[in-house]
Amino acid sequence: MKVGIIGLPQSGKSTLFHALLHGAHEGAVPGVAGAHHGTIAVADPRFDFLVQLYHPKRVTPATVEFIDGAAHISAERHKPAFGTDFFQGIRQVDALVHVVDAFSGTVDSLQAVRRVDEELLLADLMMVEGRLERLEKTLRARKDAMPERAEHDALTYVRGLLENETPLRLAEFTPDQEKMLRSFSFMTLKPMVVVANMDENRLQTDEPLPDLQDYCQQHGHRYLSLCAEIEFEITQLSPEEEPEFLQAMGIEQPARFRVVREVYDALRLITFFTFNENEVRAWTLPRGSSALDAAGRIHSDMARGFIRAEVLSWAQMEHHGSWENAKHAGAIRLEHKEYVVQDGDVIFIRFKV
């Protein structure tokens, strides 16, 4: 999973990026000047429980790759803030984290979010209009071009939404339209988490930003507040020092946990687990996915030869303490391929190819 971090200059997005990496390796993004990326393991106590229980040879947690600096915004006054390639470097990300300045007192946080949202809409609209122009040439030459006609109709609907300043994530599409639109990597289809970057005093007084929160709710954004500077300081602490510092600052969890959780919720993702003596692994799936989808996520052969799924809910895993105890108690269920996987399920796929 890839997450792009965006924001106006001096909003603290790079500080948050380094806080999220928490010492993980950082590298340049090939072909995108000034952009950096890093991958972190998703913290999950359920995964840790399985690792400690089975001591596998290999552990594979879920991961998130964060990308910073790929949205080109100029800080120079004589240049437009948004270049023509503003979002070019992050078109392929799965979600966006928009960091807004709520600490300096010189920036209107709500206007900053609106400004970037307008650029997202404009970028999508320009893409749609360019594609419609090419489709119309094809349709004038070939009246029987049915796939092109269907695409033209869908994009005409999309253009109307964008012209009315409706982000595509709030619109309803048919399954065929959704499949077609995925190939365009529309920016307003991507889930967004708005992070209000506050100063230490404002964060500790829990001063709200009701206008910004209302705007986020209306436009389908997730919202959270934090202090990027403090979050970066947390990364410099030892594991023994961190809990005491968090308690003193009144912070329940560091940003690397909170931001990832918001991204998961925005993408409507769940986690399921597999294990054997060789590996404990965490897998992500869209909410509502089936056991057959889970099998295919693990390996295409498992989906092709799917027979049954042995499933243990996480509540039952905790209650019984192990897969073996749960099996002895009859708590493991046999499910068909249509079974809807639940967050935290431990799954073993029976298959034959």
Q: What is the pLDDT of residues 42-75, one digit of tens each?
A: 999 999 999 999 999 999 999 999 999 767 665 5
Give the containing element (helix H, strand E) for 163: helix 146-163
Give the CATH architecture of domain 111-188: Orthogonal Bundle (1.10)
User: Whole-model pTM?
Assistant: 0.89
pLDDT band at 146 (very low <50, low <70, confident <90, very high): confident
Is residue 148 within 8 A of residue 186, CB to CB? The reply is: no
Query: Phi and psi at residue 138, in whole multiples of 5°?
Result: -65, -45
Query: 81 — alpha (psi -120 to 50), left (phi > 0) or beta?
Result: alpha
Give the CATH architecture of domain 2-43+61-103+191-267: 3-Layer(aba) Sandwich (3.40)
Question: 278-333: per-residue pLDDT in tens?
Answer: 999 999 999 999 999 999 999 999 999 999 999 999 999 999 999 999 999 999 99
Domain with CATH 3.40.50.300 in the chain: 2-43+61-103+191-267
State in words which class domain 288-351 has: alpha beta
Cα–Cα distance for residue pair 12/177, rounded to 1 Å: 37
Cα–Cα distance for residue pair 302/290, rounded to 1 Å: 13
Is residue 70 within 8 A of residue 32, CB to CB? The reply is: yes
**333-335, strands of its sheet edge to edge:** 58-60, 279-286, 269-275, 346-351, 306-312, 333-335
3-state helix, strand, coil in the chain (%, to 5): 45, 20, 35
Q: At what angle do helices 109-141 and 210-218 cross, to 10 degrees?
A: 20
Give the containing element (helix H, strand E) for 285: strand 279-286
Cα–Cα distance for residue pair 57/55, rounded to 1 Å: 7
Contacts of 348 (CB under 8 A, 6+ apart): 274, 309, 310
Which pLDDT value is given to residue 34? 75
Domain with CATH 3.10.20.30 in the chain: 288-351
Token look-up 């979600």 returns 95
Three-state DSSP class for residue 190: coil
Domain with CATH 1.10.150.300 in the chain: 111-188
